Structure 1
Amino acid sequence: MSYELKHVFASLPQMERGVAKVLGGDPKGNNFLYTNGKSVIIRNIDNPAIADIYTEHPHQVTVAKYAPSGFYIASGDISGKIRIWDTTQKEHLLKYEYQPFGGKIKDIAWTEDSKRIAVVGEGREKFGAVFLWDTGSSVGEITGPSKVINSVDLKQTRPYRLITGSDDNTATFFEGPPFKFKFTLAGHSRFVNCVRFSPDGNQFATAGADGQIFLYDGKTGDKIGSLGGEKAHDGGVYAVSWSPDSSRLISASGDKTVKLWDVGAGTAVTTFNMGADVMDQQLGCLWQKDHLLSISLSGYINYLDKNNPDRPLRTVKGHSKSIQSLTVHKNEGRTYIYSGSHDGHINYWDAETGENDDFLGKGHSNQVSKMVVDEADQLVTCSMDDTVRYTNINKKEYSASDLVKMDVQPKCVSAASGGLTLAVCIEQVVLLKDKKKVFTLDKLGYEPEAGAIHPGGSTAAVGGADGKVHLYSIQGNTLKEEGEALEVSGPVTDMAYSNDGAYLAVTDERKVVTVFTVADGYSVKSNFYGHHAKIVTVAWSPDNEHFASGGMDMMVYIWTVSDSDRRIKLPDTHRLHHVSGLAWIDEHTLVTASHDASVKQWTVKF
């Protein structure tokens, strides 16, 4: 019995309005990287469905950059920790860890020999440090700025120079090593968001919240000029990135455009219009070999097309907030994975290629708590916005009419043949038929937590906070209590019938999975123990002989019904985050989703 990781469908960058996002690129031009939560995400630039996730930071990571050698990555978090780790091994072994100052790290830069590192951010006594990568000993002082430093860069040719951009509206120029303050550049009227040297070291650019981009001599720090005359952009400029030949650069702005500049002429060659919505503000960019990338406030990663500036070559979508629900569905021979997140966003993924998109139109406005596909190829979802939605997965578009408003917040949905849906809500159980409410049970005497309809459509099981499973027979359009409730170890957290309807698996807060045999009057078949914390989700394999459970202990177990001692343990499926959703593509492929906003596929052998 074994398992291995088959695919990682990574999260998008975590974005914040008005805050620049730093993108890193590897020196060979194959990968780019960014951060989300406690994760550093490395993606292949030609095929972004190929991804790797580094999750060793105990705090939220804010920035990560490759060493010019390509062998190491330095990543910094909100506590002020810098971790330098290996990129060549799958394990990403930690090489060094430093704490240059206490507070959020906002940017990192390496010298071209990969020996010195500069870091800046929101320190208490100081806002930056520059040190040797292997000993941590200082190679100069970053003094001058009086407020948070947002950006830093090091000239990639000798003699070395260092520049910073700060919230005090200035850029600061240093000579070294050891790096010493030389002078302050006070051209900007608002925060300086980004400073970057050209690859040949001859110039550097500073970009500010005032919409200005200034150019300076890389060696002396003398001002050369500005881009775009009066103003480069109508909104704040959050990021700039140079072309490999140092003749051009791209800039990303809150005015929802990215501009490509001819640096010598000081004029914009191309303006990429990224949309009209607030979420289309551009907060980061990267020029990596032939690829021009920008990041929208939505977290979407845009591959810009110089020949068609109004339409990106591709847009990488996904989740930037924690995933709360998951299901899979086969359609015309292909399997699709559907995932719903904390912000109401639903994404669908081609299980083989990782190609993904979201539905068109306006969907849920709050957390998508549970999802299931019914026999009519509709994705049935329930959300904290107090609705149950039916979305045709072939049309891939939300419909305003296929929305059922609930009296109270739904927690769980289950579907069965005959157009039936069971919605378990706060203090209510609702039966729906053909997208309409037909029966509501309230005054239950217990708090319902989870529910499942038998595949045959004859019985509805509802698990309560009272540690019991209440069975109801579905008679026409009504639910009728069956009598005795089934006892489990603690408050029910999730439940599911096997696909053939033979078994009912129930998970609870006391870390136990109880499986009942349906045909035998719901007698207990077995109890399954192993989790160290509350179990939150359960899913049956198509073979009806195995099922998976995921818990707050970040573990996934795959159990064998006939032998409760035969199990596969997947530790750290989503390291430092608990698993929030499970689904099976086939009897040897399990899909997991988590609060780290990523989806993973695992190959399992029994």
Structure 2
Amino acid sequence: MDNNTEGEAIEFHGDEEIIEVIDLNDTEPCPEDLADDLQDVGFEDAEADDDEGWETEDEMEAEAQQDDSELTFSKHTGSVFCVSLDPATNSLAVTGGQDDKAYVWRVSDGEVLLECTGHKDSVSCAMFSHDSSLVASGDMSGLIKVWRVESKEEIWSFEVGDLEWLEWHPCAPVLLAGTDDGSVWMWKIPSGHSKTLQSPGCQATCGKVLPDGKRAVVGYEDGSVRVWDLKHGSAVHVIKGQDGYLGALTCLACNKDGSLVLTGSMGGCSKLINTATGKVVGVFSREEGKAKGPKNEGESNSVESVGFCNILPLVAVAYLDGTLSIYDLSAQVQRHRCQHEAGIVHLRWEESSSVVSTSSLDGVLRLWDARSGNLLSEYHGHTEEIFDFTINREASLAVTASADNRAKVFCLQRPDR
């Protein structure tokens, strides 16, 4: 080292000869030097000047996960399959989920009023009785329980075969259920007195008590539809064969007075049935409801949900391929096709308007104007598909149930309000 020129250093590697001569007066700044220099920088001013070009991690996450909801109910530890509002006040919701539980909670603040436990499988059905005094919860294994909301006590339970659907009578404490073996059960609650509607030997896939309270319409896996007299337990009309479907029924809905029933099937066809005569009075074909594109006979495009508009002669049919078709009942022609990017799971008409809402596999709730076919608004917040949703009477809020283990409350805002 004594032979080095001033300002130079020799770098050694083990026993090797000199590898490199480094000018110590001309070295790159070390981290300590940079730290000293940065002390003189006005970070507050620089941050203010450059703020528009940067996003914090929280801001980026908020942008990626937009949430338009007013309240999130997060008590469930699995997917939330169903939701219903109490018909008396619309202030309470009941949700059922994959965690084998149902919860009754207040829509305004999410407070749990009743936890429905004791189920053996996912709770796929949960709903209030006509006067909101009772709530029924049913799991996929067929265990059904009824709870008194005010006292928070279980007052009745019964076990059937695998449960397909559950439905309260519109004006009496009577509960109906359809099962995998095709039976339709009817119980008086809480006495438990029961009656069974005869099975055709296949799954009872969907059912609805008509507004008169005297009849029920049930759809089956074999493509048949039956209109039942509840008092006598007999089938008034059987729609099958050419008038029925080739595939299983997936959904059905009735108009306000119960004179018409709209049904949907796995094959993508929807039929309108007169409940007084049992005659098919309208057919809305799969091809009319399909989005434009190459025809693919192997493509499944089932009807996932149907519904009637209360104020106009319109019906809506939602397809798995993401098409929402609005049909004119008088002319039986398609008026509008509203396309979604993902398959539609459920639709609901507002009670006193021409607005129809849809939930889809992309986790978005959408509102459509059936008069024009225009999209009115979208509501984001779920990270998985929305399995079910409901809207209050005033159409001011919606409550959703999703595979992301959450139920959410959305305040519905539209330009016409």
Q: TM-score normalised to the size of structure 1?
A: 0.42
In the superposition, relative to structure 1, how do residues 535 and 583 fare at CA in structure 2: closer, same or farther (>3 Å)?
Answer: farther
Contact 2:96 2:102 in 1 (8 A): yes
Contact 2:179 2:203 in 1 (8 A): no
**Gaps in structure 1 of 5+ consecutive residues:** 1-68, 74-84, 93-314
Aligned residue pair count:
298
What is the CA–CA distance in structure 2 between the aligned matches of 1:556 and 1:379, rounded to whole Å?
A: 34
- Tell me which structure has the larger Cα radius of gyration: 2
State the secondary structure of the residue aligned to 1:494: strand
In the superposition, relative to structure 1, how do residues 327 and 434 fare at CA in structure 2: closer, same or farther (>3 Å)?
Answer: same
| Aligned mate of 1:508, from 239, 243, 265 | 265
1:404 aligns with 2:161: no
| Aligned mate of 2:178, from 410, 416, 424 | 424
| Aligned mate of 1:534, from 295, 302, 307 | 302
| Aligned mate of 1:364, from 119, 128, 146 | 119
In the superposition, relative to structure 1, how do residues 316 and 443 fare at CA in structure 2: closer, same or farther (>3 Å)?
Answer: closer
| Aligned mate of 1:575, from 343, 353, 362 | 362
**What percent of counterpart residues are identical?**
15
Aligned-residue offset at 1:365: 2.9
Question: Matches of residues 425-440 of structure 1 in structure 2 within 5 Å?
Answer: 425-427=179-181, 428-435=183-190, 436-440=192-196
In the superposition, relative to structure 1, how do residues 394 and 583 fare at CA in structure 2: closer, same or farther (>3 Å)?
Answer: same
| Aligned mate of 1:593, from 401, 404, 409 | 401
1:466 aligns with 2:222: yes
Q: For 1:402, give the aligned amino acid.
A: W
In the superposition, relative to structure 1, how do residues 373 and 550 fare at CA in structure 2: closer, same or farther (>3 Å)?
Answer: farther
What is the CA–CA distance in structure 2 between the aligned matches of 1:483 and 1:323, rounded to whole Å?
A: 35
What is the CA–CA distance in structure 1 between the aligned matches of 2:398 and 2:340, rounded to whole Å?
A: 11
Query: Partner of 1:392 in structure 2?
Result: 148
Contact 2:82 2:401 in 1 (8 A): yes
The CA deviation string for residues 71-124 of structure 1, in whole angstroms up to 9 with x for no partner, is: 236xxxxxxxxxxx92464777xxxxxxxxxxxxxxxxxxxxxxxxxxxxxxxx
Larger helix proportion of the pair? 2
What is the CA–CA distance in structure 2 between the aligned matches of 1:356 and 1:570, rounded to whole Å?
A: 34
Query: Partner of 2:110 in structure 1?
Result: 355
What is the CA–CA distance in structure 2 between the aligned matches of 1:392 and 1:475, rounded to whole Å?
A: 26
What is the CA–CA distance in structure 1 between the aligned matches of 2:98 and 2:144, rounded to whole Å?
A: 16
Q: For 1:565, give the aligned amino acid.
A: R
Aligned-residue offset at 1:463: 0.8
What is the CA–CA distance in structure 1 between the aligned matches of 2:399 and 2:323, rounded to whole Å?
A: 11
What is the CA–CA distance in structure 2 between the aligned matches of 1:598 and 1:550, rounded to whole Å?
A: 24
Q: For 1:335, give the aligned amino acid.
A: S
| Aligned mate of 2:204, from 448, 458, 474 | 448
1:342 aligns with 2:98: yes
Aligned-residue offset at 1:593: 2.6
Moved more, 500-509 or 571-580: 571-580
Contact 1:537 1:549 in 2 (8 A): yes
In the superposition, relative to structure 1, how do residues 550 and 527 fare at CA in structure 2: closer, same or farther (>3 Å)?
Answer: closer
Aligned-residue offset at 1:492: 0.9
**Gaps in structure 2 of 5+ consecutive residues:** 1-53, 67-71, 292-299, 343-359, 364-383
What is the CA–CA distance in structure 1 between the aligned matches of 2:227 and 2:210, rounded to whole Å?
A: 10
State the secondary structure of the residue aligned to 1:511: coil
The CA deviation string for residues 417-469 of structure 1, in whole angstroms up to 9 with x for no partner, is: 33332211121221222342522245523332111111212222111111121
In the superposition, relative to structure 1, how do residues 567 and 586 fare at CA in structure 2: closer, same or farther (>3 Å)?
Answer: farther
Aligned-residue offset at 1:472: 1.6
Query: Partner of 1:475 in structure 2?
Result: 231
Contact 2:156 2:189 in 1 (8 A): no
Contact 1:542 1:587 in 2 (8 A): no
In the superposition, relative to structure 1, how do residues 369 and 360 fare at CA in structure 2: closer, same or farther (>3 Å)?
Answer: closer
Query: Partner of 1:496 in structure 2?
Result: 253
Aligned-residue offset at 1:322: 1.3
What is the CA–CA distance in structure 1 between the aligned matches of 2:399 and 2:272, rounded to whole Å?
A: 21
Question: Matches of residues 309-348 of structure 1 in structure 2 within 5 Å?
Answer: 317-332=74-89, 334-348=90-104
In the superposition, relative to structure 1, how do residues 475 and 551 fare at CA in structure 2: closer, same or farther (>3 Å)?
Answer: same
In the superposition, relative to structure 1, how do residues 91 and 372 fare at CA in structure 2: closer, same or farther (>3 Å)?
Answer: closer
Aligned-residue offset at 1:483: 4.1
In the superposition, relative to structure 1, how do residues 88 and 578 fare at CA in structure 2: closer, same or farther (>3 Å)?
Answer: closer
Query: Partner of 1:71 in structure 2?
Result: 56
In the superposition, relative to structure 1, how do residues 570 and 475 fare at CA in structure 2: closer, same or farther (>3 Å)?
Answer: same
In the superposition, relative to structure 1, how do residues 525 and 337 fare at CA in structure 2: closer, same or farther (>3 Å)?
Answer: farther
Aligned-residue offset at 1:321: 1.1
State the secondary structure of the residue aligned to 1:86: helix
Query: Partner of 2:353 in structure 1?
Result: none
State the secondary structure of the residue aligned to 2:230: strand
In the superposition, relative to structure 1, how do residues 461 and 443 fare at CA in structure 2: closer, same or farther (>3 Å)?
Answer: closer
What is the CA–CA distance in structure 2 between the aligned matches of 1:544 and 1:348, rounded to whole Å?
A: 34
Aligned-residue offset at 1:604: 7.8
Query: Partner of 2:37 in structure 1?
Result: none
Aligned-residue offset at 1:540: 5.8
1:566 aligns with 2:336: yes
Which structure carries more relative contact order (alpha carbon 8 Å, separation 6+)?
2
Task: Give the CA RMSD over aligned residues.
Answer: 3.7
The CA deviation string for residues 152-206 of structure 1, in whole angstroms up to 9 with x for no partner, is: xxxxxxxxxxxxxxxxxxxxxxxxxxxxxxxxxxxxxxxxxxxxxxxxxxxxxxx
In the superposition, relative to structure 1, how do residues 537 and 359 fare at CA in structure 2: closer, same or farther (>3 Å)?
Answer: farther
Contact 2:226 2:235 in 1 (8 A): no
Aligned-residue offset at 1:579: 3.8
In the superposition, relative to structure 1, how do residues 466 and 432 fare at CA in structure 2: closer, same or farther (>3 Å)?
Answer: same
The CA deviation string for residues 377-406 of structure 1, in whole angstroms up to 9 with x for no partner, is: 2223321242222223344x241x321222
The CA deviation string for residues 230-253 of structure 1, in whole angstroms up to 9 with x for no partner, is: xxxxxxxxxxxxxxxxxxxxxxxx
Q: For 2:60, give the aligned amino acid.
A: D
In the superposition, relative to structure 1, how do residues 331 and 483 fare at CA in structure 2: closer, same or farther (>3 Å)?
Answer: closer
Contact 2:224 2:238 in 1 (8 A): no
Q: TM-score normalised to the size of structure 2?
A: 0.59
Contact 2:76 2:99 in 1 (8 A): no
Query: Partner of 1:413 in structure 2?
Result: 166
Q: For 1:508, give the aligned amino acid.
A: S
